[in-house]
Structure 1
Amino acid sequence: MIDAFGSEHATGHTVAVAAFAAAVKALASHRPHASMHLEAALNADPGLTAAHALSGLADVILASEDHLAGARAKLARGRAALAANDGGTGFERALVTALDHAVEGRLRAAGDSLDDYLYGDPNAFVAAKLSHAFRFLIGDADGMVSLTARLSVDCEPGNAGYGYLLGCHAFGLEEVGRLHEAERVGRRALELCPDDAWGLHAVAHVYEMRGQTADGIAWLEGNRLIWSRCNNFSRHVAWHLALFELEKGDHDAVLAVYDRDIANDLSGDCRDFANAASILWRLRQLGVDPGSGRWNALAAVGDTHARSATLVFAQLHVLIAQIAAGRLDEASDMAELIHDRSRTTTDQANVARNVGSELAHALLQSALSGGQQAPVGLLARRLHRLGGSHAQRDVFLRSLALIARDSGDVAGLRQVLAVRRRNKADDSFVAHQLALTATSTADLAARAN
């Protein structure tokens, strides 16, 4: 049986398949209750392979060791369901194979296995959404956009996931710098699926990269009814709103968004934590004190979940929260944890080796010594390997720029800003750094004379 989103199931149980499709709809629109729909599907048909696999893949995407045991149990149930259904469908096998890779930290291989299946079945929307999610986590923008470019042509427009697929395509286009196309496709996605928060979010990224602050605020406020109904993704969209307010220079508005929409439930999800830590860190970079209470509350959450984070991207956000809260011993432990995990064989070990460990120690040493020399240009060029988006990684680009500035590394500062300009229009942060660079250069020349 094939559901409205193109998922083929080895069952004739209509109630179970309808519940699975409802879960996919919730996943596509970032609405709550996807897990509730999956539970309903399994209550109707305990052998529904895709429900076991999708639930396990969702656990992996939470990026916490705390959820991996559950994901492995769901993998075992998915395999058993495949065997009971004579090997199941190609779609079900693809999801189970992706989960097998993902629970072992092979996120790129998980995405590749889904892409391989989609060559034969471009209508299986949830496989595309999952591949997109894994490639986002590993910073593979080219992989994201090449997949969705092909599927936007090959997928049937009547598929219930087609509009959401365009939302994914819009985001990938933005991440590879094709901003005009990204805005056009993102708006089209929202026309087809008015609840497509990811497509809406892609357009917000376009405005961020172009420096269209007023347009960005108007876009998000004008569509608040869409994103405010999301699951915790609403906190991330609110984070984008806070970024626009930050660029406008309204720091009170930033903190109001933070308190109301970003930090209202920091229960440990690494994505929520990253939103909160990065917006407070940006304020700190501007010399704005958000208050020790906010930092201490955030660092306490980070301390609780620090060792369970599976992504270097998440671990680095814990590190900056610990630094800002004055917990330098804990920050030192986190830097060592990132270094130690670079010795394993997962995808994230490669991230730690290539950029994460060196960046962690640069941030820590800057906090300890007030401007320790670091290979800022090299780190800036490798930063995309952390995963996430250009907008999210910008907090670390800004940090590298400040490290260069504080250590008198004018050439390094220019290298970091050159990397930043590949994706983002100059903003008030750059203007301030260039003014300081000019002053530093003039001072050096004067001293030489």
Structure 2
Amino acid sequence: MKRDAYELLSSTANVEAQNAFEDAVYGLAAHRQSAVQSLQVALAADPHHVAAHVLRGFANVIQARAELAAPAAAALCDAQAAIAHRSGGTCDERVLLDALKAAVEGSFSKAAVLLDDGFADRPATFLPFKISHALRFMLGDAAGMLAASTRVVERLDQTTPAAGFLLGCHAFALEEHGLYDEALLAGERAIALQPDDSWGLHAVSHVFEMRGQTNEGIEWLENSRKAWSRCNNFSFHMAWHLGLLHLERGDHERVLRIYDEEVRPQQTDDFRDMANAVSLLWRLNQTGVNVGSRWCDLAEIALRRRTDATLIFAALHNLAVLVAIGERAGAAELLAQIEEKAAGSGDQARVAAEIGVPMASVLSGVGAPADRRMLEHMVAVLPMIGGSNAQRDFFVLALAKAAGNWGDIVGVSRIRRVRQNLKAEDRLINSIELSTNLKLSA
């Protein structure tokens, strides 16, 4: 038993398997398409590689699609069989396995706690930290992300292979708390240590966007294009940020080109790719831009997903598509699925009950917060939806737009003030407040 290059204690004795697994972990860190192939090589060389089975399980879980629940459960069974074959494996492998079991059972929060606690003496062990970071990101748990990354930074050996990737995660957690100066420094340090750290590049791009530094953000993304364009579908998300910055400039033709060539070059149904596309098209529509038939491929996917409320973040984006194309029956069916989810148990059931159902009603146009207290509550619990502040800004803007449609200028102003705590003034929030004032004065 020995620790690999990323500090994980492994029970495998197969050098080929371990080298391939380390390649897979690097691919995960750098958002490279090669990660999947490397994982397959590791398992082919050692079918009892516990951590490889666990990583395969998490890869299915984190995609948050109903049809991947069975493959995730199968990976859990394979990991359990592998650890039994290895007479209980290592302490690290046992923690990873327990966390996967919790995630498969629907509790991302429990899985993240198990990973954090299980590696409390070695918080900079990359794989468990990165998985916990991803789970907390999906939960909207910025406080948990920052607490974990702070523990890492306090004990980080910056000569280790994962140092840059770990600092990139810390930069992102700082940014999500509005600590922009600290985030910028951490992100720049991360990239200096590890030029392939696209998550660190991403964190810095968030800083520029949230500060309203449009020109600086565009320059940053264009200058780092060589790094992020080599990513898997994460490159679509980086292009989404670039599109948002050009949208703030008012360069609509450029935004549409970025959408077609870089945000939506493939008709994938990954919920992250859908979120990029949906929120950018919605913003373009609100700006008065004719997006042509670009909703069509999204509509096909949203219709297929109208019975899937596995992840409320994803379901709400699909709902927005159905509303945009006027698919009332599909929207009603998905709203019913979110309501059914809210009656269940687990992390996402709580999300559905607290914010999913009321936000779905707002997006569908079938309901509004009963009073100011309900509106305040929705704004307060919005982080539960998951994702980043930049991604959730779509829901903030949609809520402000709906409040404006109801003639609630006080509500719009309140949402604007809350938003100002994280994001600089921009065209969309200004136009929403202006249009509300015009309606009231007409």
Which runs of no fewer than 5 residues in structure 2 stay unpaired? none
Cα distance in 2 for partners of 1:28, 1:204 equals: 18
Maintained 8 Å contact 1:335/1:357: yes
**How many angstroms does 1:214 deviate by?**
0.6
Alignment-derived partner of residue 107 in structure 2: 106
Aligned residue identity for 2:410: A
Task: Identify the range of structure 1 (378-387 vs 347-356) with the bigger mean alpha-carbon deviation.
Answer: 378-387
Partner residue, 2:344: 344
Deviation at 1:436, TM superposition (A): 4.0
Instruction: Deviation per CA, 1:140-184: give whole Å up to 9, x if none.
Output: 000001100111121332321111000000000000110100011
Structure 2 equivalent of residue 316 of structure 1: 316
* Structure 1 Cα separation of the partners of residues 384 and 421 of structure 2: 16
Q: CA deviation at 1:440?
A: 5.7
1:283 Cα offset (Å): 1.0
Contact 1:19 1:40 in 2 (8 A): yes
Residue number in structure 2 paired with 1:410: 409
SS across alignment from 2:365: helix
**Aligned twin of 1:400:** 399
State the 1:378 CA deviation. 2.6
Contact conserved, 1:373 with 1:404, CA < 8 A, in 2? no
Structure 1 contact 186–202 (Cα < 8 Å) conserved: yes
Structure 2 residue 319 is the aligned partner of structure 1 residue 325: no
Match of 2:216 in 1: 215
1:135 CA drift (Å):
0.2
* Inter-partner Cα distance in structure 2 for 1:342 and 1:118: 33
Q: Is residue 2:269 matched to residue 1:268?
A: yes
Residues in 2 aligned to 1:156 and 1:269: alpha-carbon distance in whole angstroms: 35
Taking the TM superposition and a 5 Å limit, the aligned residue runs for 1:5-20 are 5-20=6-21
Distance 2:85 2:314 in 1: 38
**8 Å CA contact 1:50, 1:92 repeated in 2:** yes
- Structure 2 counterpart of 1:302: 302
424-433 or 332-341: which moved more?
Answer: 424-433
Aligned-pair identity in percent equals: 43
Q: CA RMSD in A?
A: 1.6
- Structure 1 contact 341–352 (Cα < 8 Å) conserved: yes
CA distance in 2 between partners of 1:121 and 1:287 (Å): 52
Cα pair 1:342 1:352 within 8 Å, conserved: yes
Alignment map for 1:430-445 (pairs within 5 Å): 430-436=429-435, 439=438, 443=441
Confirm or deny that 1:354 pairs with 2:382: no
Q: Deviations over 1:188-222 (max 9, x none)?
A: 10010001000000000001110011111111011
Contact 2:269–2:301 at 8 Å: present in 1 too? yes
Match of 1:379 in 2: 378
Specify the alignment match of 2:138 in structure 1.
137
Q: What's the counterpart of residue 447 of structure 1?
A: none
1:376–1:413 Cα contact (<8 Å) kept: no
Measured after TM superposition, the shift of residue 305 of structure 1 is 2.9
TM-score with structure 2 setting the length: 0.96
1:124 paired with 2:93, answer: no
**Deviations 1:242-301 (CA, angstroms, capped at 9, x unpaired):** 10011111111111111001111122111111111110011112222211x211221111
3-state DSSP of counterpart to 1:158: coil
Q: Which amino acid aligns with 1:355?
A: I
Deviation for aligned residue 1:405: 1.1
Structure 1 residues 122 and 378, CA gap change in structure 2 (3 angstroms): closer
Residue 307 of structure 2 aligns to a residue in which SS? helix
Counterpart in the other structure of 1:89: 90
Q: Give the 3-state SS of the residue equivalent to 1:38 in structure 2.
A: helix
Correspondences of 1:163-242 after superposition (within 5 Å): 163-242=164-243
**Separation (CA, whole Å) in 2 of partners of 1:272 and 1:437:** 32
Distance across 2 between alignment mates of 1:338 and 1:287 = 30
The 10-residue stretch of structure 1 (193-202 or 431-440) with the greater mean CA deviation from structure 2 = 431-440
- Normalised by the length of structure 1, the TM-score is 0.95
Matched, 1:365 2:365: yes
Whole-angstrom distance in 2 between the partners of 1:234 and 1:309: 26
Counterpart Cα distance in 2 of 1:399 and 1:418: 15
List alignment gaps of at least 5 residues for structure 1.
445-449
Counterpart of 1:248 in structure 2 is: 249
